[in-house]
């Protein structure tokens, strides 16, 4: 989106952003239709996809689209989310960090330890959702499995689905709370000040040309 200003640095590339926001749309439809069957109070949510019947047909396809999008994000972001020795410093300072105190140098790379935990939980949930979802997909596969496998798949799908929705609610809350991060995911750019405040080690590595984006 336009040329970056002098004090800005690239945080997220165009294809990564496109993938992220496409996942958001597909996740919205998959999650709301799923919730509509799980909690009767939310049955009205299946109308986001037209009719309840349409929601029933489309839900698995939106789910698969989320899985494919996350495969791309996994490939692009996995190396930034591997555990680092410096993650310990973030965990030890989680209270001041949450209180908005950025005075300490926490040696945070491209993503902080909390984001890394979230990244791996999202990836684990989508794998469980995909496998259990395929097993219980009535139109194509469910008939090949015994009833106890279907029951287990339905249980796993429900737990992972609600778990992922809760994780994403936390993710959205934190994205709004850390001002500037949504702009980074929309335009691709963050200010050098933002980077130094929230991801100090990454900012230094970018400045010295040691890190890729
Ligand atoms: C309205 C909904 C959402 C908002 C506002 C949002 C916002 C963001 C922002 C701002 C970032 C960049 C954080 C940074 O640069 O430090 C990000 C990263 C990310 N988001 Fe979202 N997001 C949303 C929904 C989702 C959904 C539904 C998923 C997956 C199911 C998802 C998965 C991810 C992943 C995997 C990353 C990369 C984080 C990492 O590598 O550690 N997001 N999101």
CATH number at residue 20: 1.20.950.20
Closest atom of ligand 1 to 119 CA is 41
Mutate to test the pocket of ligand 1, among 31, 110, 171 (most ligand atoms within 8 A of CB): 171
Closest atom of ligand 1 to 118 CA is 41
Would residue 18 count as lying in a domain? Answer: yes
CA of 164 to the centre of ligand 1 (A): 12
Catalytic residue among 20, 80, 157, 171: 171
Would residue 2 count as lying in a domain? Answer: no
CA of 171 to the centre of ligand 1 (A): 7
Residues 164/154, Cβ–Cβ less than 8 Å: no
**C-beta of 11 in contact with ligand 1 (< 6 A):** yes
Within 13 A of 126's CA, how many CA atoms are on the CB side? 23
Which amino acid residue places its CA nearest to atom 4 of ligand 1? 172
Residues 113/90, Cβ–Cβ less than 8 Å: yes
Dihedrals phi, psi of 35, to nearest 5 degrees: -60, -35
Write out the residue range of the structural domain in which residue 143 sits.
8-207
Q: How many domains does the chain have?
A: 1
Residues 21/201, Cβ–Cβ less than 8 Å: no
Would residue 36 count as lying in a domain? Answer: yes
Sign of the CA dihedral with 42 first, then 171, 123, and 160 last: negative
CA of 5 to the centre of ligand 1 (A): 24
Would residue 1 count as lying in a domain? Answer: no
Would residue 55 count as lying in a domain? Answer: yes
Dihedrals phi, psi of 11, to nearest 5 degrees: -110, -45
Would residue 213 count as lying in a domain? Answer: no
Residues 4/145, Cβ–Cβ less than 8 Å: no
Residue by residue, pLDDT tens for the chain (213 residues) are 556 678 999 999 999 999 999 999 999 999 999 999 999 999 999 999 999 999 999 999 999 999 999 999 999 999 999 999 999 999 999 999 888 888 888 999 999 999 999 999 999 999 999 999 999 999 999 999 999 999 999 999 999 999 999 999 999 999 999 999 999 999 999 999 999 999 999 999 999 988 766
- Cα 37 to the chain's mean position, in Å? 23
Would residue 3 count as lying in a domain? Answer: no
Would residue 183 count as lying in a domain? Answer: yes
- Residue-wise burial string across 43-67, b where 16 or more C-beta atoms lie within 10 A, e elsewhere: eebbeebeeeeebbebbbebbbbbb
The reported pTM is: 0.95
């Amino acid at each position: 989106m336009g040329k970056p200003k002098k004090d800005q640095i690239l945080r997220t590339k165009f294809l990564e952003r496109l993938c992220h926001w496409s996942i958001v749309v597909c996740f919205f439809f998959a999650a709301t239709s799923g919730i509509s069957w799980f909690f009767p109070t939310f049955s009205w949510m299946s109308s986001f996809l037209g009719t309840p019947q349409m929601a029933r047909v489309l839900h698995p396809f939106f789910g698969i689209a989320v899985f494919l999008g996350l495969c791309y994000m996994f490939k692009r972001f996995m190396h930034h989310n591997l555990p680092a020795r410096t993650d310990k410093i973030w965990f030890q300072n989680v209270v001041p960090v949450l209180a908005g105190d950025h005075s300490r140098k926490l040696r945070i790379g491209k993503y902080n330890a909390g984001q890394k935990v979230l990244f791996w939980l999202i990836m684990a949930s989508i794998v469980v959702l995909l496998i259990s979802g395929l097993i219980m997909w009535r139109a194509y596969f469910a008939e090949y499995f015994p009833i106890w496998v279907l029951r287990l798949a339905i249980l796993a799908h429900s737990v992972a689905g609600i778990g992922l929705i809760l994780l994403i609610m936390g993710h959205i809350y934190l994205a709004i709370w850390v001002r500037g991060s949504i702009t980074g995911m929309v335009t691709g750019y963050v200010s050098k000040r933002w980077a130094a405040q929230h991801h100090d080690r990454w900012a230094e590595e970018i400045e010295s040309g040691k890190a890729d984006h």
